[in-house]
Structure 1
Amino acid sequence: MNAITVTNLNKAFGSKQALNNVTFEIEAGKTTALIGPNGAGKTTLFSVLCGYLQPDSGEVNILGHKLGDPALFNKLSALPQDAQLDPRFSLEKQLCFYARLQGMNKHAALKDTHRVLEFVGLKDNFNSRISELSHGMRKRVCIAQALINSPKVILLDEATAGLDPVNAREIRNIIADLSDQATFILSSHDLSELERLCNHILYLEQGVLTQHQTYNYQGEHNYITLQLCKEPLQAIDHLKQLQDVTHVQQTQSKEFVIEYKADNRQFDIQLLKHCHKLKWQYRQLINGNTLENELFNKE
């Protein structure tokens, strides 16, 4: 079942075509990366999916319903990049207010507020005000707001932007923990972060969806990315000598993507033995292609 189906979506602002005939599907339960340069149309797409903007043409179906259908109430939530909460009120009061807006009674709103704050690690801050919290804690409160009433589709725009590594990791863990309960769409410029969390990518460029694919799809051929400490001479030729290798591409200094036949279950072991034989020291071995290479190093 698809959580989201978008067909021939168009949106223009004057002479600028923000979305140009965008079509894609997202399967329920999949965590999807929405990637693209600044001005690519990512925020516009988010705004259309949330119902903030009406498309000029095309269709959007979310959880089996068209945009604006009352049946979607409470089923979809979004966290804009620059989301802010009122510094005058406690976390408990603010999140209870948002829960009441979703139709909860006072008791249910309070219970769900405590649930989401505990989930994001802020169970001891119910009575704190936003102004009393660190930047990372504020971001987690905004995540908590997006989780009220357990929505089925969650859109997060730059959820970890500007955070230190510890807070960014905590938010990634929150998303990973919920990935079997909701369908996430994550927009970020941090490809390594998306690589950890996502199994599906949408790449927008100038309003056009240039890539729509399952990341690291494994078919007749598999991929492995080898990062070496030093760049040896004739590395590609040496790697091509391995059994079942069908293609080798150097993607950057000291990094090679090796394509090999999928039925070779011991290829990683063969590769490591080959490196040892040649006295190559490796820095990292990645099972599959990196997201950066998937997007920008196609031959």
Structure 2
Amino acid sequence: MTALIRAQALSKKFGSKTVLDNLNFSLEAGDPIALIGPNGAGKTTLFSLLCGYISPSAGQLEILGHKPGSSSLFGRVSALPQDAQLDPNFSVQTQLEFYGRLQGMNPATAKAETARVLALVDLADNGKQKATALSHGMRKRVAIAQALLGQPELVMLDEPTAGLDPVNAMQVRKLIASLSKEATFIISSHNIFELERLCGTVLYLEHGRLQQQQPTHQQGVAGYLTVQLEPGDNQRVQLLLSQLPGVQKVELLQKNEFGLCYDRELCPDLDLTVLALLRAEGLPYRQLTLGRSLEQQLFSVVNG
């Protein structure tokens, strides 16, 4: 089976500056993929390589078995830049139909495809409006609709919820989740908690190097439980938790949050045991999570 994306010894230089350094990874189609890293890590450069806007300085990069920019990928790959703008002088429908024509659609197909993608983003009744009449959240959804024209197999989104209020950001996340069976999304974002909810795989870039590639969800992984409590005596809580059968180590992750390393064979129901202890000791809790959060998975390795 052909991988969705395959990179081998992929590097990119601009003059003497190395922006991407010897990346090796393979990604399969399916759940959304998170691309994470600090500013300057190389995320935008990787997107540009995937789109075929620029060429690698060294190494190999393939999408569905083809080089980025190949005519064989026409209509199969799309991208939405963070600052994509709509023309204020034309209606949403006119613009989307124009983009459909640029993809080679005839007028009737472009019109039908425009209606389809506007319905997908819940803007079927807004096609006649100009961008200036739409809210910021609605304009973002129109931009996503543009990226969905022609039913591409790979959709790259750069900061799709940047600048949105919580309600509109939630709508965009729900939209991406609902469309994930139709296309594979690669999402670049600084919102690690958003990506943890949306994505199945994460690529972590730093200084142009691939630091990690791993699943985002590890709930139920043997041997770890995260406990977040109301403010209280952390030292006392840490002592009580460390005395539970099967607990090997208790880490104070941050104020009022603890990580328990434990033996699942000795204590397969540690979460229930911890809840019973907290109730008996009168210690109100906020959250218990089996496994490590994405933030813990990434930065305990990177910084550890």
Short-chain TM bin: over 0.9
1:120 paired residue number: 121
> Do 1:76 and 1:154's aligned partners in 2 also have CA atoms closer than 8 Å?
yes
Match of 2:244 among 225, 242, 262: 242
> Do 1:251 and 1:297's aligned partners in 2 also have CA atoms closer than 8 Å?
no
User: What is the DSSP-based 3-state SS (H/G/I as helix, E as strand, rest coil) of the residue aligned with 2:164?
Assistant: coil
Q: CA deviation at 1:153?
A: 0.8
> For 2:219 and 2:125, how far apart are their aligned partners in 1?
45
> For 1:213 and 1:241, how far apart are their aligned partners in 2?
32
Q: CA deviation at 1:86?
A: 1.1
2:227 paired residue number: 226
After TM superposition, the structure 1 stretch with the greater mean CA deviation from structure 2, 51-60 or 287-296, is: 287-296
Q: CA deviation at 1:280?
A: 1.3
1:259 paired residue number: 261
Structure 2 vs 1, CA of residues 247 and 185 (structure 1 numbering), >3 Å: closer, same or farther? farther
Structure 2 vs 1, CA of residues 277 and 20 (structure 1 numbering), >3 Å: closer, same or farther? same
- Write the mapping of 1:185-200 to structure 2, written as runs, cut at 5 A: 185-200=186-201
2:292 paired residue number: 289
After TM superposition, the structure 1 stretch with the greater mean CA deviation from structure 2, 58-67 or 135-144, is: 58-67
> For 1:21 and 1:38, how far apart are their aligned partners in 2?
19
> For 2:133 and 2:112, how far apart are their aligned partners in 1?
23
> Do 1:219 and 1:262's aligned partners in 2 also have CA atoms closer than 8 Å?
no
> Do 2:219 and 2:290's aligned partners in 1 also have CA atoms closer than 8 Å?
no
Q: CA deviation at 1:54?
A: 0.6
> For 2:151 and 2:259, how far apart are their aligned partners in 1?
40
User: What is the DSSP-based 3-state SS (H/G/I as helix, E as strand, rest coil) of the residue aligned with 1:195?
Assistant: helix
Q: CA deviation at 1:278?
A: 2.2
What amino acid maps onto 2:282 in structure 1?
Answer: K
- Write the mapping of 1:1-299 to structure 2, written as runs, cut at 5 A: 1=1, 2-217=3-218, 221-232=222-233, 233-262=235-264, 265-298=268-301, 299=304
> Do 2:226 and 2:289's aligned partners in 1 also have CA atoms closer than 8 Å?
yes
What amino acid maps onto 1:194 in structure 2?
Answer: L
Q: CA deviation at 1:170?
A: 0.4
Over aligned residues, Cα RMSD in angstroms? 1.8
What amino acid maps onto 1:90 in structure 2?
Answer: S
Q: CA deviation at 1:265?
A: 4.9
Q: CA deviation at 1:20?
A: 0.5
Structure 2 vs 1, CA of residues 90 and 279 (structure 1 numbering), >3 Å: closer, same or farther? same
After TM superposition, the structure 1 stretch with the greater mean CA deviation from structure 2, 111-120 or 232-241, is: 232-241
Q: How many residues align?
A: 299
> Do 1:224 and 1:289's aligned partners in 2 also have CA atoms closer than 8 Å?
yes
Q: CA deviation at 1:210?
A: 1.1
Q: CA deviation at 1:234?
A: 3.5
Q: CA deviation at 1:132?
A: 1.3
Q: CA deviation at 1:261?
A: 4.0
Identity %: 52
Structure 2 vs 1, CA of residues 258 and 182 (structure 1 numbering), >3 Å: closer, same or farther? farther
Q: CA deviation at 1:219?
A: 8.3
> For 1:286 and 1:119, how far apart are their aligned partners in 2?
34
Q: CA deviation at 1:195?
A: 1.2
User: What is the DSSP-based 3-state SS (H/G/I as helix, E as strand, rest coil) of the residue aligned with 2:4?
Assistant: strand
Structure 2: which 5+ residue stretches go unaligned? none
Q: CA deviation at 1:240?
A: 2.6
For normalisation by structure 1, the TM-score amounts to: 0.94
For normalisation by structure 2, the TM-score amounts to: 0.92
> For 1:219 and 1:19, how far apart are their aligned partners in 2?
34
User: What is the DSSP-based 3-state SS (H/G/I as helix, E as strand, rest coil) of the residue aligned with 2:40?
Assistant: coil
> Do 1:35 and 1:202's aligned partners in 2 also have CA atoms closer than 8 Å?
yes
Any idea what the Cα deviations from partners look like across 1:158-217, whole Å, max 9, x if unmatched?
Answer: 000000011100000011101222211111111111111112111111111111112244
Q: CA deviation at 1:66?
A: 2.4
Structure 2 vs 1, CA of residues 148 and 227 (structure 1 numbering), >3 Å: closer, same or farther? same
